[in-house]
Amino acid sequence: MSLRIRLAKPGEAALVLSFVRELAEYENLSHEVVATEAMIDAALFGPNSKTFCAFAEWTGEPIGFALWFLNFSTFRGRHGIFLEDVYVRQSHRGRGVGRALLRHLAARCVEEGFSRLEWSVLNWNENAIAFYEARGARLMSEWTLCRLDGDALDRLAKAPEDEAEAARAEV
């Protein structure tokens, strides 16, 4: 086996984006990908970036990736890692690549004194859920992921500061 995990380098935004698109296709979410190479490049390699990416390479060929950013636990008073995406190409699954990517991030957490490694998984992805549970992950079923985007995000951002005043204005 010739597996290597390495950090992405400037100039590799196209490769990162290709993995994002492959993942989106696998998850039936291709229609949601609006990121561009320039956006990925700025997020990963811009000044003061807190977004990171690692590639898994098999005999020098990129076959998987993990993309993460730092989060913060107020309860623990320390940073952690939120794994936004992890993906291994179908042709290389079952060879320990996903495990190696997770191990890489777990080691980074330990080395940097981070309190945890977290991520989301689609409810229908039973293979991924089983894989994560086999690594010791707990499914946090008592928490529900919330998201504001699109029109709802715009409406909230433009809402008057005084909701009572806004309610009176609607009458």
Q: What is the CATH number of the domain that holds 8?
A: 3.40.630.30
Residue 149 DSSP class: -
Specify if 75 maps to a domain. Answer: yes
Q: Which residues pair with 105 in a beta bridge?
A: none
- Computed over every residue of the chain, the mean pLDDT equals 93
Q: Is the Cβ–Cβ distance between 67 and 43 less than 8 Å?
A: no
Structural domain includes residue 81: yes
Q: Does 124 reside within a domain?
A: yes
Range of the domain at 58: 3-140
Establish whether 132 is a catalytic residue: yes
**Residue 123 located in a structural domain:** yes
User: Of 52, 58, 65, 132, which one is the catalytic site residue?
Assistant: 132
Q: Is position 146 within any domain?
A: no
pLDDT, tens digit, 9 for 90 and up, residues 72-102: 999 999 999 999 999 999 999 999 999 999 9
Domain count, the chain: 1
- The backbone torsions φ and ψ at residue 54, rounded to the nearest 5 degrees and listed phi first, read -130, 145
Residue 153 lies inside a defined structural domain of this protein: no
Does the predicted model carry a pTM greater than 0.95? no
